[in-house]
Amino acid sequence: MKVIVAGHQKTGTKTLNEALTLLGYNVYDFLENFFYLSKEWNQILTTGGDTQLFQKMFCDVDAVCDMPSLLFWEEIHRAFPDAKIILSVRENDDVWFRSMMNQMTSNQKNYLLRLVFFLSPTALSRLVGSGVRAAQLAYGMDRSAIFSTKQNEMYMKLCYRRHNAHVMMNAPKDKLLIYNCKEGWGPLCEFLGVDAPSVPFPHKNKKGSIFDELMEKSDIMKRMQLEALVVSGVIIAIIVVIVSLCASLLG
């Protein structure tokens, strides 16, 4: 483990994922964490873990970002004390909260995403359960709130400020970068001790579009989409058979 992105969701974590990938790092974002390490994260989010578990989980991973790793940045750093820590931030908590609500609005309108999350066995077993537990820890959300824009704004902003303050106070100063993605390659590459690439700095998840992109490009999401379509097809077939049997009995 070389880099721990400790910033909250909607602070440019998808942009940082892409930037670190372009710099040659093997990055685990929320999808990789919940898919490949679902058993371990389920344990951590329910009963806890230890340094050895985090070392085992991330022994072949260069960087982590987003949920649920941001909640356990300190524990991950204890397992990898040489890792550098990036606290990605927005201009203020109002900007951050609006971005969170934009993401939830986008998720709410994405009916294919809803179909996947509720019908794919993989999504249900590896994403939904652990994702809900992480959201409860991070923001106090319950299961019904995952696709809802009706959130406790005051409490969510408090969680954001409290998390940032904790990172700033407790992360080793010589290993911490407080970073806004609008700053581009310069501060990031200087902090990491690498040369800036010749490509423009990325900008991912514009207007909460990340799941549309993942549906199209991610093999993990493609697998879950296929599962959801198969399950929905089976459900429809069962309904058709039941309706036909009832019609024949009544006829």
Domain boundaries, the chain: 3-250
Mean pLDDT by 10 residues, the chain (251 residues): 96 95 96 93 93 96 96 97 97 94 84 83 82 84 65 91 97 97 96 95 79 81 86 85 78 61
Long-range pairs of 115-120 with CB within 8 A, sequence gap ≥ 24: 115/228, 115/232, 116/215, 116/221, 116/224, 116/225, 116/227, 116/228, 118/228, 119/227, 119/228, 119/231, 119/232, 120/224, 120/225, 120/227, 120/228, 120/231
- Tell me how far apart the alpha carbons of residues 194 and 188 are, in angstroms, rounded to a whole number: 9
Nearest-Å Rg of the Cα atoms of the chain is 20
In this prediction the pTM is: 0.88
The pLDDT value recorded for residue 47 is 92
Give the three-state DSSP class for 62: coil
- Tell me how far apart the alpha carbons of residues 72 and 129 are, in angstroms, rounded to a whole number: 18
The pLDDT value recorded for residue 140 is 78
CA distances from 90 to 5, 36, 148 (A): 14, 29, 22
Instruction: Place domain 3-250 in its CATH homologous superfamily.
Output: P-loop containing nucleotide triphosphate hydrolases (3.40.50.300)
Query: Which 8-state DSSP code applies to residue 117?
Result: H
